Structure 1
Amino acid sequence: MRNSIFSLAASIAVCVPLLTASLSALAEGRHSHGHGMHKIGEPGKAGNVTRTISVKMYDNYFEPEALDLKEKETVRFVVTNKGEFVHEFNIATAAMHETHALEMEMMVEHGVLEPDRINREAAKHMQEIIGHGMHEEGNSILLEPGQTGELIWKFPDHATLEFACNIPGHYESGMMGDIKLAH
């Protein structure tokens, strides 16, 4: 009985902050899973790409450190993980990054994200159980060390955006950059 009460209390302690943050983000239309996506842009089409930008992810920083883009521009990002750990390139607002960081923390807790690899079987299992785990949002790409991937994104006409790695501890250690949109 005592163990059951402890397990229930521990589950509540983990789930309540995540649920609160997710509901708050949904209410404001900022969640990265398709809700309010128009506020940060939308997945772009290859035929509309105006330029290609190479992004390199190192352990706790990006090259380039910031991006100067045009409003409504469609950009192909060729992203390479040059670090020793799994990294993410995610386009969002600061508030969306904060919410997504909680989801990434859950991915670590469920064994999806290991320091240097993505456990695809654990991701499938997490997806089946809670509907999150495959990390297939259009505004983000998750790469193991040495991997390269592409993301095509059409930016909105007005937004305050960042690109960041939301793996626990990475954003906090400076693995983020500003996206400036000009007319």
Structure 2
Amino acid sequence: MKHITTAAFTVAVLTLAFALAWAGAGSANHSHDDLYAAVEPGDSTKSVRVVQITMGEADGKMFFTPSKVDVKLGEQINFALRNAGELDHEFVPASTADNQKHAEAMMKHPNMEHDDPNAKKLAPKKADEIIWKFSKAGEFEFACLIPGHRESGMVGTVTVK
């Protein structure tokens, strides 16, 4: 009986420790306040400009094409995402500082899943989309935060004028 109680207690403590560590990393590093002050969910029933973003890898580099997008203040953009590569890739919008913090958390927790409707992870040869309306001028970033991908070139910018 004592062994069962000790084993159950150990499992409970380890489960709680893992949950707290995971929740701490996720909540602290999923803040996109700068971005969300500047964008809002788009309305697909209104005028939308489509921007195709292709993700992939070649010659030891990983990329977004295009890696720079210019947007007019108040404009809605449908980011039509396509993973043309052989690996999973992500499209994660945020400020550069937030994405760098998030990338560090991803290095520590490489299997972390995003709970964010504006971040998309795509398997090879898959497609998805995100519609944003830009309501604040500035420069914002999109990146792939899968460990090693950002460092291999998977980062882009959206400039809102």
- Band of TM-score, shorter chain: 0.7 to 0.9
Gaps of 5+ in 2: 1-9
Once the two structures are TM-superposed, the CA of residue 20 in structure 1 deviates from its matched residue by 7.8
> Residues 31 and 99 of structure 1 are in contact (CA less than 8 Å); yes or no, is this contact kept in structure 2?
no
CA 1:84–1:159 in structure 2 vs 1: closer, same or farther (change >3 Å)?
same
Once the two structures are TM-superposed, the CA of residue 105 in structure 1 deviates from its matched residue by 3.8
Match of 2:137 among 158, 162, 166: 158
TM-score after normalising by structure 1: 0.65
Taking only the aligned residue pairs, the percentage that are identical comes to 33
- 1:90 equivalenced with 2:92 (yes/no): yes
Match of 2:106 among 100, 104, 111: 104
Once residues 72 and 138 of structure 1 are traced to their aligned partners in structure 2, the CA distance between those partners, rounded to angstroms, is 20
User: Which shifted more, 98-107 or 84-93?
Assistant: 98-107
1:78-130 deviation digits (Å, cap 9, x = unpaired): 110011110011221101212322453465246xxxxxxxxxxxxxxxxxxxx
Structure 2: which amino acid aligns with 1:45?
A: D
Structure 2: which amino acid aligns with 1:90?
A: V
CA 1:159–1:94 in structure 2 vs 1: closer, same or farther (change >3 Å)?
same
Once residues 96 and 148 of structure 2 are traced to their aligned partners in structure 1, the CA distance between those partners, rounded to angstroms, is 15
CA 1:78–1:19 in structure 2 vs 1: closer, same or farther (change >3 Å)?
same
Match of 1:170 among 146, 149, 155: 149
Matches within 5 A, 1:129-144: 133=113, 135-144=114-123
TM-score after normalising by structure 2: 0.73
**Count of equivalent residues:** 144
Once residues 161 and 37 of structure 1 are traced to their aligned partners in structure 2, the CA distance between those partners, rounded to angstroms, is 7
Structure 2: which amino acid aligns with 1:86?
A: D
1:39-96 deviation digits (Å, cap 9, x = unpaired): 2412211023431011100121011121111112111111100111100112211012
Once the two structures are TM-superposed, the CA of residue 150 in structure 1 deviates from its matched residue by 0.9
Gaps of 5+ in 1: 111-132
> Residues 25 and 105 of structure 2 are in contact (CA less than 8 Å); yes or no, is this contact kept in structure 1?
no
Once residues 25 and 122 of structure 2 are traced to their aligned partners in structure 1, the CA distance between those partners, rounded to angstroms, is 28
Moved over 3 A (4+): 18-23, 102-107
Once residues 74 and 108 of structure 2 are traced to their aligned partners in structure 1, the CA distance between those partners, rounded to angstroms, is 33
> Residues 44 and 153 of structure 1 are in contact (CA less than 8 Å); yes or no, is this contact kept in structure 2?
yes
User: Which shifted more, 94-103 or 60-69?
Assistant: 94-103
